[in-house]
Structure 1
Amino acid sequence: MTQLPLRAQLASALGRSAATLSRMTGRGDGSVIGGRVGLLLEPDLLRKLARDRKLALVSATNGKTTTTRLITSALLELGEVATNAFGANMPAGHVSALSQHKSAPYGVLEVDEKYLPEVLDTTGAGVVCLMNLSRDQMDRAGEIWLLAQKWRRALSGRPTHVIANCDDPLVTWGASTAAQVTWVAGGQRWKEDSWCCPECGGPLDRKDAAWACRECTFHRPEPHWVLHDDVVVDPRGRQWRVDIQLPGLANRSNAVMALAVAEAFGLPVERALPRLGQVTSVAGRYTTVERDGRYARLLLAKNPAGWLEAFDVADPGLPIILSVNAQGPDGRDTSWLWDVDYRILRGRPVFVTGERRLDLALRLDVADVPFTLCASFGEALAMQPPGRLDVIANYTAFQQIRSEFGRAE
């Protein structure tokens, strides 16, 4: 790799020191503060750190942290990989990740949907992975079709190789201006945000996995990769069993996206797939933690689409604790709770906690789901008999629970 200019070297070194100090003092994992310090000293540090690396950017409303981890695991077959493993997905986090692995020839960066155009322009990444778009944090983010429009403009005229989920009409529209697109049929169970054509506004007709606009020519492209339950068909028609340890259909879809990205880097399926099976947990997601004989599996759900996937993974035979906050990273508006169908929880013990537990309690009451209201997660956990249970929490609630158990990986 090209030697960094002296100013950039100094900024990068001081950023790493700030990140280390943050970790040593227990203030955080250093994945943001290090980048902020570096950018303060050298505003163009991200561009300089990205130069001469083979980069993949991963963006979506749900699943980007997991998919970033899976891609990183696969690409380690080729060499050292720089990545923002803990989900710091804005430029400060990207600077910190690349600074921590300054000699890595490869990089896989999770990118917030709104920041994708800026980060793509700054880094010149050769590969972009786009998975899904659904409503999320509506008090802070714009309508998702505006995000898709920004993606279209950012990709237009660039030589970037895009890996995109063609089952999501908004992602398809956002990716369709790219010079090269590999279409992946990864599935899309949440359809409530994509009933209208993003091209003309007309209704979308759906039949099985296919979709098409009733009023214009916009339709689902022919996929190169197709996921059928736990089997993926690659572009050459070969079938591979997606044998991974992360649970649920959504994670098998994430794995197929990772395989397509790995192939774009020149890594064949037979070498990438075994590495995906080594991933057991992602920044605490799917981790099982223990206290006094109670084994709680932690599931993250930040929006209606995420809750749908969490319900798919949760064991219907176990008690479940639900925890919801509404801090800045979550979005202050909890009206999205009314878009989640909680009736699936009927018949199992449900315990409700979190800063906005009353909002969630009202939603469950309207859905005729019996529940127990708890003042804290600790109280809810103490009410469980010894054995297994599931926990579903949104972002800051999830992080608070993780911290109680030492931020288990």
Structure 2
Amino acid sequence: MAGNSDPLTPRAKIAVTAGKAVAAASRAAGRGSGSVIGGRVALKLDPDLLARLAQNLDVILVSATNGKTTTTRLIAEALGAAGPVVSNALGANMPAGITSALAGGSDAKYAVIEVDEKYLAGVARDTAPKCIALLNLSRDQLDRAAETRMLAENWREGLAGSKAVVIANADDPLVVWAASSSPNVIWVAAGQMWKDDAWSCPSCGGVMQRPGDDWFCGECGFRRPTPSWALSGDHVLDPHGSAWPIHLQLPGRANKANAASSAAVVAVFGVPPQVALERMYQVQAVAGRYDVVQFMQRDLRLLLAKNPAGWLETFSLIDPPPTPVILSVNARGADGTDTSWLWDVDYTRLTGHPIFVVGDRKLDLAVRLEVANQHFQVCENVDQAVQLAPPGRIEVIANYTAFQDLRRRVGN
């Protein structure tokens, strides 16, 4: 449907209204934002609702194992320079949550949508995106997520022939394999600290060669494409070779990489890198991540890390020893119930930090730290950990539901 004509049928309007009513009731009952239950109800009433809501929007989809929520927020902030934006900023990234977000954006021109990796192909089919950002793929939620190569294959098949401009990380072989089926790809050298899911070639299964920052398969010739955008230290290099300084309030190399990918995305819509990066500076925290909060007369910095790749990046940005560190791990449905991924994390990087362990699976984590020869104390809860921690700001690293528990306890 062209122009600004109303894409919503009477049935769709009823679905939107019902979804909003259910969401409001859920919020009033103190059961969270209500976006997921509201979206589920709306999609039950009109299964085509997501496609209808997306019809008059320029849709940008963002998918990855790590960094989706932050990158979505950075793109939305930068793209605001070009017009009103609707986004699922709270991270409800499956079809129900996405439908709820779009239902709330009646005056928007752009929709910046974070999508769970497993749902990317379906959401892309429904929303006909103008742009898709693919950041990384690594192991996550081992008990229920597809193996990474299967996910890459799923992306590859789902994006084949897509009209979207695909912005993809040239440094992640799995992402390159997935994106290579698309006719219009812009490559970004965003880096890849975690390499343990990309030692075999996704094309032929051969062993990947990794000289320096390059990579290629010695057997079939699958290789790193030449990027047109790149993260270089504290700068984004654009396709013309100009270097633009990155000024972020968010910490760490990973967020600079997210900013580089975001700059490449919004350039597709005519927002220049300088304007984009200046607007990204406004983002201080994303759904509580990176927030510094006061709790029991102490400063706690809250850091989310859900899988080995995320923990590796997070260790690189914490303050140096002897800064105290609290680690919290749960294994509920949203985390994945299999904690064997803890053995993939290099905890020797915490040597010299006083470590305090909390969370549902604190004993699993304690065994892992024992093997890594780390000094730690197991605590009943975050209150006890804070009481025992030596002076100074405390870094708190938690996986998904442990992070939500933490935010509720410290009042964030």
Structure 1 length as normaliser, TM-score? 0.98
Contact persistence 2:234–2:256 (CA under 8 A): yes
The correspondence for 2:21, drawn from 8, 13, 17, is 17
TM-superposed CA distance for 1:403, in Å, is 1.3
Structure 1 position 108 matched with structure 2 position 120: no
User: 1:49 offset after TM fit, Å?
Assistant: 0.5
- How far the C-alpha of 1:53 sits from its partner, in A, is 0.5
- 1:396 aligns to 2:397 (yes or no): no
Pair 1:315-2:319 in alignment: yes
Instruction: Give the CA deviation at 1:17.
Output: 2.1
Q: Measure, in 1, the Cα distance between the counterparts of 2:298 and 2:333.
A: 31
Give the deviation of 1:22 after TM superposition: 2.2
Query: Is 1:179 paired with 2:173?
Result: no
Q: Following TM superposition, where does structure 1 have runs of at least 4 consecutive aligned residues deviating by more than 6 angstroms?
A: none
- One-letter identity of the residue aligned with 1:41: L
Picking from 341, 346, 369, the partner of 1:341 is: 346
Residues 9-408 of structure 1 aligned to structure 2 (within 5 Å): 9-317=13-321, 318-385=323-390, 387-406=392-411, 408=412
Cα deviations by residue, 1:163-202 (Å, 9 ceiling, x for unpaired): 0000000000000010100000000010011011111111
Q: Partner amino acid for 1:2?
A: S
Q: Which amino acid letter does the alignment assign opposite residue 182 of structure 1?
A: I
Structure 1 range deviating more: 160-169 or 262-271: 262-271
Report the 3-state secondary structure (helix = DSSP H, G, I; strand = E; otherwise coil) of the residue aligned with 2:181.
Answer: coil
In structure 2, give the amino acid aligned to 1:96.
S
Partners of 2:5 and 2:288 lie apart in 1 by 35
| 1:134-177 deviation digits (Å, cap 9, x = unpaired) | 01111101111111111111111121110000000000000001
CA offset at residue 386 of structure 1? 5.3
State the Cα deviation string for residues 83-140 of structure 1 (Å, max 9, x = none): 1111111000100100111221110110010100000001111110000000111110
Q: What percent of counterpart residues are identical?
A: 55
Structure 2: which 5+ runs fail to align?
Answer: none
The answer on whether the counterparts of 1:293 and 1:386 sit within 8 Å (CA) in structure 2 is: no
Equivalent position SS for 2:327: strand
Q: How many residues align?
A: 407
Q: What residue is the counterpart of 1:8 in the other structure?
A: 12
Distance 1:137 1:253 in 2: 23
The 8 Å contact of residues 12 and 38 in structure 1, kept in 2 or not, is answered as yes
Deviations 1:259-307 (A, max 9, x none): 0110112211122111111101000100011122111000001000000
Secondary structure at the counterpart of residue 2 of structure 1? coil
User: Could you tell me how far apart the structure 1 residues matched to 2:340 and 2:315 are?
Assistant: 19
Mapped partners of 1:174, 1:357: distance in 2: 36
Contact 2:296–2:386, Cα closer than 8 Å, also in 1: no
The answer to whether the 8 A contact 1:294-1:384 is kept is: no
* 8 Å CA contact 2:82, 2:269 repeated in 1: no
> What TM-score, normalized to structure 2?
0.97
